[in-house]
Chains A and B, each alone.
Chain A
């Protein structure tokens, strides 16, 4: 039995596809969306995890599968509250030394991969993962949660970088109340040094 030969797909074939993001984040992105095949870095000393979840929430709601790699202490309820449907979220919390291989496989079949590198990531591996994402039209979100070095960065320039600068919370008053509404101040910039930098506030409360 002959199998059909897969058509030759140019690298730009996925450029028209994109991943939707929540409106406030869309306002900060140059095209109002994230191109399929992108690498998005999310960093910041506080708020990076929520911002990363928020970045993928809309596409997850629209049916994308999300793999979360290397975030052993991910708050599952927070993910759910931000809109990620847990039945399409897989967790690879402690992916051992073969995490690069695992991410490479995931990017081929799962639309969205959120990665907090469990170890040092070489520029070569980073480029390899980016190339697979570009070829398959998937989205790779790299991040580092609270408690790591503040100056963490992805070894190669990401297509888009989102930086959580600070958060403003409502609800607490000297022992009364609980944390409730939250606004994250975000800085967004692109791959090239001269690319436009945008700043704005993303609501992350309820």
Chain B
């Protein structure tokens, strides 16, 4: 098996390594941004699987023959995705280009895509071995393994299978297989071992999405019930939509969180996405009439209950499931990068202490080795933290009683008592008290340069507090204690 994974710039956020600095809230107008990328890659290979928003996988074997080599195929996919995202890439600072990788299995291919490389056939295990555990396992398992002196995938893979299963359970056993480069998850056009298909026919054919969705309710529930009876769940379902002229469009969907199978409600949401995409892209494919006559659901990745359900999420309630489904749906409305969660990590400045993670990524995976909120961070301000952290920062002017600019001297002191503060050229505020300055010499958000800056807490009338920064003879507001 050879798997190609493409990461769109949006999907990159999910996969970004610690060195990528563009995860902090740049202006994102991501509405429906990802759909053109899917369409562009589909034009290269019709059987694609969307692993997560922004992340597409396909079986590379056929197209490789067609395009005359894996490097050529990668370049083709990269170019198609780049053209499709080109519209958004312009004018967005630091916007990454799409990345593409090929490897023997899906997991290795995802890692390869982050690095934009092709892993040689049979080389998955070796390629993966040097990556830290955090790319695969959650913080808890990482901690336990870390205490055993295991910090890379290679070291994890070297453990005997039996002791991993015995000590950490089935889920860890599955991860252990992935670390060893044994990733037999079915992809794209490979048929499921057993056929689980459920479909419904519209009479007459309809263009109304809500009507199609109503019709789809029964087959979706039948499929799930059918699986349930056999003690199975499906983590990958192909949704097929056929028009009244017999043209069909199929799309393979994977569950957002790798561990819980599809339920009927999620299937309907996925179908809704697919139908809305069809309606928006009515020109593509040109022959599709839009009058939908038949829909069918086909379970692809089918596994016994329990294998996948060892929740790294620590168990979920009905309310959690409902909330997560609803958030999936909002993500479908607004675009993949629009919905995020946040994790706190180490750092001195408020902005660098938080990492944003697109919804659907396991946030625990972002708690990386070597950076921890529990570590003492010299120079970090004590609690409470500011309720607003500005990004971009706000310009500020700080004057003394006589109307002169207050500066921080080379000895790290204020040149005068601060008296008045103006933020973003709004009205002047009276400064009633202050703390600092505290100076920092460090590489800050710009890792390539060292900077020297000083921070001051300013307390203004009515108890409005600000964290201001002085650098290169200018003030700005980093955060507000709103």
Indicate with 1 or 0, residue by residue over B456-475, a CB within 8 angstroms of chain A CB atoms. 01010011110000000000
Residue interface mask B25-39, A partner, CB < 8 A = 1: 101111100000000
B143 CB–A CB distance under 8 Å: no
**A82 to B479 Cα, complex, angstroms:** 17
Are B388 and A86 touching (Cβ within 8 A)? no
Q: A76-B342, A94-B27 are in contact. Are A81 and B384 (CB under 8 A)?
A: yes
In the bound complex, residues from chain B placing their C-beta under 8 Å from that of A67 are 327, 330
- Interface stretch, picked from A11-19, A28-36, A96-104, is A96-104
Q: Mark B333-348, 1 if CB is under 8 A from A, else 0.
A: 1110011111110000
Contact (Cβ within 8 A) B386 A75: yes
A206 touches B384 (CB 8 A): yes
A200 close to chain B: CB less than 8 A: no
Give Cα A102 to B389, complex, Å: 24
From B30, B222, B434, contact of A175 by CB (8 A): B434
A78 to B353, CA, bound (A): 12
Mark interface residues in B313-333 (1 if CB within 8 Å of A CB, else 0): 000010110110111011001
Q: How large is the interface on A (under 10, 10 to 19, 20 to 34, 35 or more residues)?
A: 35 or more
Knowing A87-B363, A91-B356, A110-B326, the reply to whether A102 touches B334 (Cβ < 8 A) is yes
Total number of residue pairs linking A and B with CB closer than 8 Å? 203
Q: Closest CB-CB distance, A201 to chain B, in whole Å?
A: 12
- The listed residue with most B CB atoms (<10 A of its CB), out of A48, A81, A91, A97, is A91
Residues of B within 8 A of A79 (CB): 387
Q: Is A154 an interface residue (CB 8 A)?
A: no
- Residues of the B chain whose Cβ atoms lie less than 8 Å from the Cβ of A174: 417, 433-434
Chain B residues 352-377 with CB under 8 Å of chain A are: 353-354, 356, 359, 363
Residues in B neighbouring A75, C-beta threshold 8 A? 350, 385-389, 479
Known: A75-B388, A172-B435. A65 touches B342 (CB 8 A): no
Cβ–Cβ contact A50 & B221, under 8 A: no
**Residue interface bits A71-89, CB-to-B below 8 A is 1, else 0:** 1111111111100001111
CB distance from A184 to the nearest CB of B (A): 8
Verify B31–A96 contact, CB threshold 8 A.
yes
Is B414 on the interface with A (CB-CB < 8 A)? yes
A64 to B341, CA, bound (A): 15
Inter-subunit contact A110/B391 (CB<8 Å)? no
Judge if A1 is at the interface, Cβ distance under 8 Å. Answer: yes
> What separation, in Å, do the CA atoms of A105 and B417 have in the docked complex?
51
B340's nearest neighbour on chain A, judged by CB, is: A91
Does A177 lie at the interface of the complex (its beta carbon under 8 Å from any beta carbon of B)?
Answer: yes
- CB pair B317–A77 under 8 Å, yes or no, is no
In the complex, which residue of chain A has the Cβ closest to the Cβ of B28?
A94
CB-nearest residue of chain A relative to B423? Answer: A147
Interface contact A98-B334, CB-CB below 8 Å:
yes
CB–CB A78/B465 < 8 A: no
Contacts A49-B482, A146-B482: A92 and B330 contacting too (C-beta < 8 A)? yes
- Asked whether any CB of chain B lies closer than 8 Å to the CB of A56, the reply is no
Take A92-B339, A98-B333 as given contacts and tell me if A46 and B464 are in contact as well, using a CB distance cutoff of 8 Å.
Answer: yes
Cβ-closest chain A residue relative to B432? A172
Closest to B466 in A: A146
Report A92 CB to chain B, min CB distance, Å. Answer: 6
Q: Per-residue CB proximity of B385-422 to A under 8 Å, as 1/0?
A: 11111110010000000000000000000100100000
Whether A199 sits at the interface, judged by CB under 8 Å, is no
A77:B423 contact, CB within 8 angstroms: no
Write the nearest CB–CB distance from B359 to chain A, whole angstroms: 6
Check A50–B457 contact: CB distance below 8 A: no
Contact A172 B433 (CB under 8 A): yes
Instruction: Note all chain B residues with C-beta closer than 8 A to A1.
Output: 218, 221-222, 225
Given contacts A106-B327, A109-B322, 10 further A-B contacts (CB under 8 A): A1-B225, A74-B388, A75-B389, A76-B389, A81-B383, A92-B334, A93-B338, A96-B30, A98-B31, A110-B326
- Nearest first, the 3 closest Cβ-Cβ pairs linking A and B are A109-B326, A167-B463, A77-B385
Could you list which residues of chain B lie within 8 angstroms of chain A, going by C-beta atoms?
A: 25, 27-31, 217-218, 221-222, 225, 317, 319-320, 322-323, 325-327, 329-330, 333-335, 338-344, 350, 353-354, 356, 359, 363, 381-391, 394, 414, 417, 423-424, 426, 433-436, 457, 459, 462-465, 479-482
